[in-house]
């Protein structure tokens, strides 16, 4: 994300100090957002990563649904990425989901940690989070199945296994939205 100029930063603490360092932070990517006093940037990061887990599980589910119904993962994700529901993130994860390259960017144990932190904050703040809780259980199952060193996109492998199919790499070029196109 940094190399592609797409990093975003959430900052909390003193508004005055933020005003002084914002120009420096802005050089790191495409956005710097002041989110409040104290350490609330920590909650923003945790909430972001909870969403990351939920979105990835949902992406795994719909991709497996399409594949089991006869649509190639590459074609489905190309369609999704070009639709209103596509995003920088879905495009970024598409090569891993299509070609089953799970070189780690963020591991399942790290995702579980952030889901646990998010669910703990939700309990403290009395915010029900049923989708995050369900995702946390699926992540725990994936860890139990041995997915600890690879990228958390291996959620698609567990979704496929639970759906009665075995995925194979499609070995096709897929735009990740970050790499320069030739």
Distance (Å, rounded) from C-alpha 97 to C-alpha 156?
A: 7
Distance (Å, rounded) from C-alpha 111 to C-alpha 139?
A: 8
Tens of pLDDT, residues 69-107: 999 999 999 999 999 999 999 999 999 999 999 999 999
Tens of pLDDT, residues 22-53: 999 998 888 999 999 999 999 999 999 999 99
pTM of the model: 0.91
Q: How many CA atoms lie within 13 A of 63 on its CB side?
A: 34
- With b for 16 or more beta-carbon neighbours within 10 A and e for fewer, the 96-109 pattern comes to bbbbbebeeeebbe
Number of C-beta neighbours around residue 179 at 10 A: 11
């Amino acid at each position: 994300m940094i190399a592609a100029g797409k990093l975003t930063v959430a900052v909390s603490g003193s508004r005055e100090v933020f005003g002084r360092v914002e120009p420096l932070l802005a050089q790191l990517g495409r956005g710097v957002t002041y989110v409040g006093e104290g350490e609330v940037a920590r909650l923003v990061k945790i909430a972001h990563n909870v969403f990351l887990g939920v979105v990835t599980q949902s992406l795994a589910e719909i991709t497996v649904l399409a594949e089991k119904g006869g649509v190639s993962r590459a074609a489905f994700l190309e369609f999704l990425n070009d639709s209103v529901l596509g995003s920088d993130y879905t495009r970024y994860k598409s090569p891993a989901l299509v070609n089953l390259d799970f070189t780690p960017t963020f591991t399942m144990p790290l995702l579980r940690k952030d889901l646990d932190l998010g669910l703990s904050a939700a309990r403290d703040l009395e915010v029900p989070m049923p989708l995050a809780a369900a995702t946390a259980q699926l992540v725990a199952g994936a860890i139990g199945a041995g997915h600890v060193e690879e990228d958390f996109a291996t959620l698609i492998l567990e979704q496929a296994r639970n759906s009665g199919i075995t995925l194979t790499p499609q070995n096709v070029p897929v735009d990740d939205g970050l790499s320069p196109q030739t």
